[in-house]
Structure 1
C-alpha cells in the first residue's frame, strides 16, 4: 500500500514537472517577444549582446503619438468577429444540408466548397478588387468581413460537417415524431450537440482571418480600414529601417485577442479538437 502511494506521488510529481516544463517552453518566447517592445531600438540592433537590457517606452510613445494603433486593433476585432459570424450563419445550415439531406449533386457541392480553399488567393485578387470597387465597398471594414468570410467558409463548413456526421439520426427522428421541424431540430438538437466543433471552427477561422494580409492590403487603401496585419508592414521599412520594438508590440497586441479567446473557451476548444474526425 505504501509503495503504491509512493508510486502515485512520483507519477504526480513527474506529471507536474512535464506540464510545467511545457508551459515554460510555450510562455518564454511570448514573454521574450514582449520584452523587446520595452527595450530601446539601439539595444535591439546592436551586434554586442546585452545581458541587462534597459527599460524604455519609446515604442509605446511612437504607437500612441504617431500611429492610431488602437483604431487598427478595433478594425481587426470588428472584421474578424464579423467574418466569423457570417461564416457560422452560412456554414451551419450548409453543413446540415450536406449531412442530412439527400439530393442530386450533394457530394459535388461539398467538394466544390472545399476546393475553394485549395486555390491560391492571388488568383482571385484582381477580380475581387474590381468587384468591391464597383460595389463601392473599398476601404471599409465591412468589405474585410465579407472577404474573410468567403476565404474561410469552406473550412468552417467541413469542420462542422464532420461533427454533424457523428450525431445519431435517431435523435432527429424522435424530434420529428414529436412534431419538430427542421429549423427547430437544427437549433435545439444539432447545434448544442456539435457545439465543440462550432467553437473549434470559429477559432480556426478567426486565426486565419487575423493573419490575412493580401486581401487586407488590397481592400484597405487608407488607414480607415487598416488592420493589425497591415499595420505591421508599416514598421518594416522606410528611412528609419526596421523598427523592431514597435513590430514586437504590434504583434503582441494582434496576438492578444486570440490568446484571451482561447483561454476563455479552452475547455470547449480541447473537446472540439479531440472529438470527431474529418470525414470525406
Structure 2
C-alpha cells in the first residue's frame, strides 16, 4: 500500500482506491531535493548497520563456540549475566551513560560512533542464539575432529560454521533490522543532520510538503526500508531454517 501511495498523483492519493490511475514518480526526486543530506544519511545507515552486523556476528559466533565446546571457568556465570541483561530496557536506562562515554571519547556526531553502543546492546541476544545453535551440533562430531588433529581454528571454520550457518543468518538479519531502524541512540548521539541515520532524518521529513505530504512521505519511507526488504527477501529461506533448527533453543 505504501509503495503504491508513493507513486500516486495528488488526486489519486486522496481517493479510496488502492491502484493509482496515474503513476507519478516525481515524489522520489522531491524527497532527494527536500532532504539534501539524504544520500549521506543513507551512507551513515549503511556504515553503522554493516559495522554492527559484522562485529556482533563475529563476537557471537566466537562466544557461542567457547560456551559450548571449550571448558572455560565461569562460563555459566557469564551466560547467566547475558540472559539477565535481556530482561532490562538497557537501551533506555543506559542512554545517559552511553552519551557521557561517547562524549569523553569524542564520538558525538560521528556516525561510526554508533557501532559500539549498538554492538554492546545486541550482543546478549546474539550470543544466546549462537549458543543454542552450537548446542544442536553433536559432540561426537567435535570429538572426532579433535581425534583427527583439528585445531580450534580449523574446527570452527571448517567443520562447525557450515553446520550453524542458518543460525548465523538469524543473527545477521536480527541485528541488521535492529541497527537499521534504531532511533533513540541515533537521535541522542548525533544532532547534526549530516551525521544522522535514516530513521532520525525521516522523523523530521514531513515539514513543508503541503498537500502532497502523504505520497511524498511514502516515497521517503520506501527508500528507507527498501534495503531491509531486499536483504530479508534474499535471506528469508535461511532465516526460517535457522529458527526451525533451534536458533532460539535455550
TM-score, scaled relative to structure 2 = 0.88
3-state SS of paired residue (2:81): helix
C-alpha displacement of 1:66: 2.7
Question: Is the contact made by 2:44 and 2:111 (CA closer than 8 Å) also made in structure 1?
Answer: yes
Q: Is 1:36 paired with 2:36?
A: no
Q: 1:114–1:42: structure 2 CA closer, same or farther, 3 Å change rule?
A: farther
The residue that corresponds to 1:235 in the other structure is 205
Of residues 87, 90, 104 in structure 2, which corresponds to 1:134? Answer: 104
Higher Cα radius of gyration:
1
C-alpha displacement of 1:226: 1.5
Question: Is the contact made by 2:48 and 2:111 (CA closer than 8 Å) also made in structure 1?
Answer: yes
Q: Bigger CA drift: 227-236 or 48-57?
A: 48-57
C-alpha displacement of 1:242: 9.3
Question: Is the contact made by 1:199 and 1:268 (CA closer than 8 Å) also made in structure 2?
Answer: yes
The residue that corresponds to 1:56 in the other structure is 24
User: Per-residue displacement from partner, 1:66-112 (whole Å, max 9, x unpaired)?
Assistant: 31322222211221111000101211111112112334432221121
RMSD: 2.4
Provide the C-alpha distance between the structure 2 equivalents of 1:227 and 1:41, rounded to a whole number of angstroms: 29
Q: Is 1:161 paired with 2:122?
A: no
Q: Is 1:222 paired with 2:192?
A: yes
The residue that corresponds to 2:238 in the other structure is 268
Q: Bigger CA drift: 99-108 or 176-185?
A: 99-108
The residue that corresponds to 1:91 in the other structure is 60
Which structure has the higher relative contact order (CA within 8 Å, separation 6+)?
2
Provide the C-alpha distance between the structure 1 equivalents of 2:216 and 2:104, rounded to a whole number of angstroms: 36
3-state SS of paired residue (2:94): helix
3-state SS of paired residue (1:265): helix
Question: Is the contact made by 1:199 and 1:272 (CA closer than 8 Å) also made in structure 2?
Answer: yes
C-alpha displacement of 1:162: 0.8
Q: 1:263–1:43: structure 2 CA closer, same or farther, 3 Å change rule?
A: closer
TM-score, scaled relative to structure 1 = 0.79
Question: Is the contact made by 2:6 and 2:27 (CA closer than 8 Å) also made in structure 1?
Answer: yes
Q: Which runs of 5+ in 2 are unaligned?
A: none
Provide the C-alpha distance between the structure 1 equivalents of 2:216 and 2:87, rounded to a whole number of angstroms: 34
Provide the C-alpha distance between the structure 2 equivalents of 1:173 and 1:50, rounded to a whole number of angstroms: 63
3-state SS of paired residue (1:160): helix
Provide the C-alpha distance between the structure 2 equivalents of 1:213 and 1:42, rounded to a whole number of angstroms: 33
Q: Is 1:71 paired with 2:40?
A: yes
Question: Is the contact made by 1:236 and 1:242 (CA closer than 8 Å) also made in structure 2?
Answer: no
3-state SS of paired residue (1:112): helix
C-alpha displacement of 1:202: 0.7
Q: 1:155–1:247: structure 2 CA closer, same or farther, 3 Å change rule?
A: farther
Return structure 1 stretches of 4+ with deviation > 6 angstroms. none
Provide the C-alpha distance between the structure 2 equivalents of 1:239 and 1:36, rounded to a whole number of angstroms: 15
